[in-house]
Amino acid sequence: MQQILTAQDIPARVVNQGIAPHFGCSTPAALQVRLQDQWTALFLLSPVEDHSAEASEY
């Protein structure tokens, strides 16, 4: 995800969210972007909608 944002010249960083809840589990993390880039990042990282199934129903 960070590489997608970097390719679009949106600075991003991975932020550690704390201690793992169980031994052997990875720690939770979040991807942080600047406030002015928030909506662009959400758009780029959102799933692509598939309209082909809807079009075949009609």
> Tell me: the pLDDT tens digits for 8-54?
999 999 888 877 666 667 778 888 999 999 999 999 888 888 766 55
Ramachandran bin of 18, using left for φ above 0, alpha for ψ from -120 to 50, beta for the remaining angles: left
Distance CA 46, CA 1 (A): 10
pTM above 0.75, yes or no: no
pLDDT of residue 40: 93
